[in-house]
Structure 1
Amino acid sequence: MTSGGELVTHTVLLHRLALGVETVDAVTGRAVGTAVRVGREVPDQPRRRHRGQGLDPMLRRTDLPLEASSTGRYRLRHELRRRPVPPPRNGVPPAPAPVVVRIDDPSRRFVPRRLAVPLWTLAEVEAAEAAGGHIPVRSRLLRPRLLPGSAYVLPRGVTGLRGRVRDAAGPLPWARVEARIEDQPPDEVIVGRAHGDERGEFLLVVTTLGDVDLALRREVLLRIVVFGPAPVPASVPVPAPSPAAGDEDRLSRLPVEPVPRAAGAPPPTEADLDTALMRGETPPPGYQQSSADRRVRVPVGGMRSEPTPFLFSP
């Protein structure tokens, strides 16, 4: 308070948002109602040593958790302390490295995803504010849909398929699966999608049956299309994975999906946030369609568990 009795207030900036993540249930279209693990990947951290004990393997982490603000919502804040800025090369400042966001559900209700997101830097945020504008919060928002995993609890009356994907070497981790109605032209209409886990297991929910007359059908014939990573040419050296890292990090082979940065102004629309990539409809880079499709009859309003694995054949 000043000597004249006027009240003077000061605004103290506590943090600036770098990235917001809102996880969405792909089946219900609503925010994920159960806790999932969302973090940003960091270089492998050393194990912690307890006093009087050896190294604890359970404390070795490959990601740092984001701050949870509510159910299904997480945030990453900019550090307000200044760090040295690398000098520009040829007069062009270096582009910031994207942050790899890792979304995991150890209970297997949802299939994990890894998304590479280029952030708006603190300098860019402050520059926009100094110019009299701002970078909208929605431009710093990631809204990925999570597809159901093997432990997802489906409501009664859902039409779907449980199965496994394998290739010549065994179970195929992180496959992508599409279902199309075979006996209804055109059969290119996709009626359901699924993401496979690291064991090759998937749970596909049929979201639409098109013009199929349910009053006359007890089952539908689906053509199952599988996508997987293209084979690496023999001339390209492939580094052998570390056995220790593979044992501790089940997501080590999960592909990273690059996300383009949203425009700074005007704010992104709902269509900009709900893209095919965010819905999990776009196969990861380097994936290709299998040459071996298969037909499966699925009961309308029920689940079929297919014991014979689906083959991925590049």
Structure 2
Amino acid sequence: MTGRAAGREDPITVGAGTAEVLHRLALAVRPLDARTRAPAGPGLHVGCEYEPVPGRRPRPGDLLRLLEGHGASGFVLRHGTAGGLPHTVTVRVDDPARRWIPRRFRVPLWTRPELAGADARPPSAPYVRADARLLLPWLLPGPAHPVPLGTTGIRLRVVTAAGSPVRWPRVDAFGPGGVPLGWAHGDEHGQVLLLIDGAGVLPPPPPSRFDVALRTHAPDPPPDPPADPPADPLAARPAYVSADPPADPLAGLVAEPVVRSTSPPRPQDLDNAVLRGTARPAGYRTGAADTVRTLTTGQVVHAADLPHTPA
């Protein structure tokens, strides 16, 4: 056992001489616009979640450790010299301006010993490339997304059979011939902005109006609360259920698991159905039937509520 502080590494030799290692890149997160594939932002909040303290009602500020922002390069989480990171972190990407629908991911990290092994003498592990520590989530348009003129799309709300908003729904659109035209994520109020390109198999020029079939996916509803016990005839007043909103505004948003990249990363490590948001998350159920809505080419139309009845 050496006298070095916990988490400290032996100095490494570089071209300029001996250098002390103060931190190593654990994860870089670079959110992308799902339509343009360009970096999404600015103004995003990207961070790692903390586990809530048992017995204490969490506040929004207690739930997240914001990552360092580096502009178009993304957001960075580091292995530092003080303390350590867990093997898996929950990353959330949120936009307070509501231009993008939030997303959450469960991300396994390369450990500090794995990253430091290449610098040992002799090396005890292969070098882990920086792009093997990269997360590239696609973000879908939110209610306040700046929609370019001439875009074809639809705004609607996904609701239950009783008319209540469905939290965090997803919607797929299919054009004539069953050709996929696009997909969208909804927010905690069930609001969906679905933008599409093209009109499926219809020959150009596209018609001014055409029908699309919309398929909904939504989380299983939470279980019903236990029934209230029989009223105590001696009780002075009835019990009330708290109507306070949840402390976490992203409560109920699924944390999608991702697979750790190899080094060097394979194409499917950096671009796959989970990152794109097209994979149906665990716990989501598809609607029993598709619903047809009519789009107007070059416009974003407002449509009636879209019912979601699980199959």
Q: Could you tell me the TM-score, scaled by structure 1's length? A: 0.80
Equivalent residues of 1:219, 1:299 under 8 A apart: yes
Q: What residue in structure 2 maps to residue 36 of structure 1? A: 44
Q: Secondary structure at the match of 2:159?
A: strand
Report how far residue 243 of structure 1 moved.
6.2
2:129 aligned residue (114, 136, 143): 136
Q: What residue in structure 2 maps to residue 256 of structure 1? A: 255
C-alpha distance in structure 2 between counterparts of 1:197 and 1:207, whole Å = 22
Q: What residue in structure 1 maps to residue 171 of structure 2? A: 177
Report how far residue 233 of structure 1 moved.
7.0
Report how far residue 81 of structure 1 moved.
3.7
Q: Could you tell me the TM-score, scaled by structure 2's length? A: 0.80
Counting only pairs closer than 5 Å after superposition, residues 1-80 of structure 1 correspond to structure 2 as 9-44=17-52, 60-71=61-72, 73-80=74-81
Report how far residue 71 of structure 1 moved.
3.4
Describe the superposition over 1:58-90 as per-residue Cα deviations: whole angstroms up to 9, x where unpaired: 87331110111123610000022466x9xxxxx
- Structure 1 counterpart of 2:256, which letter? E
Structure 1, unaligned stretches of length 5 or more?
1-6, 47-56, 86-95
C-alpha distance in structure 1 between counterparts of 2:302 and 2:41, whole Å = 26
Report how far residue 126 of structure 1 moved.
1.9
Cα distance change of structure 1 residues 33 and 230 upon mapping to structure 2, 3 Å threshold: closer
C-alpha distance in structure 1 between counterparts of 2:199 and 2:132, whole Å = 35
2:298 aligned residue (281, 293, 301): 301
2:265 aligned residue (252, 256, 268): 268
Equivalent residues of 1:192, 1:208 under 8 A apart: no
Equivalent residues of 1:143, 1:274 under 8 A apart: yes
Equivalent residues of 2:87, 2:111 under 8 A apart: no
C-alpha distance in structure 2 between counterparts of 1:110 and 1:223, whole Å = 23
C-alpha distance in structure 2 between counterparts of 1:107 and 1:8, whole Å = 45
1:277 aligned residue (274, 279, 300): 274
Report how far residue 43 of structure 1 moved.
2.5
State the aligned residue count: 276
Q: Secondary structure at the match of 2:274?
A: coil
Tell me whether 166-175 or 143-152 shows the greater mean CA deviation: 166-175
Structure 2, unaligned stretches of length 5 or more?
1-14, 228-240
Q: Secondary structure at the match of 1:171?
A: coil
1:292 aligned residue (289, 293, 299): 289
Q: Secondary structure at the match of 1:125?
A: helix
Q: Secondary structure at the match of 2:142?
A: coil
1:202 aligns with 2:192: yes
Cα distance change of structure 1 residues 102 and 82 upon mapping to structure 2, 3 Å threshold: closer
C-alpha distance in structure 1 between counterparts of 2:300 and 2:221, whole Å = 32
Q: What residue in structure 2 maps to residue 213 of structure 1? A: 203
**What root-mean-square deviation, in Å, do the aligned CA atoms of Structure 1 and Structure 2 show?**
2.9
Q: What residue in structure 1 maps to residue 309 of structure 2? A: 313
Equivalent residues of 1:20, 1:74 under 8 A apart: yes
Q: What residue in structure 2 maps to residue 101 of structure 1? A: 91
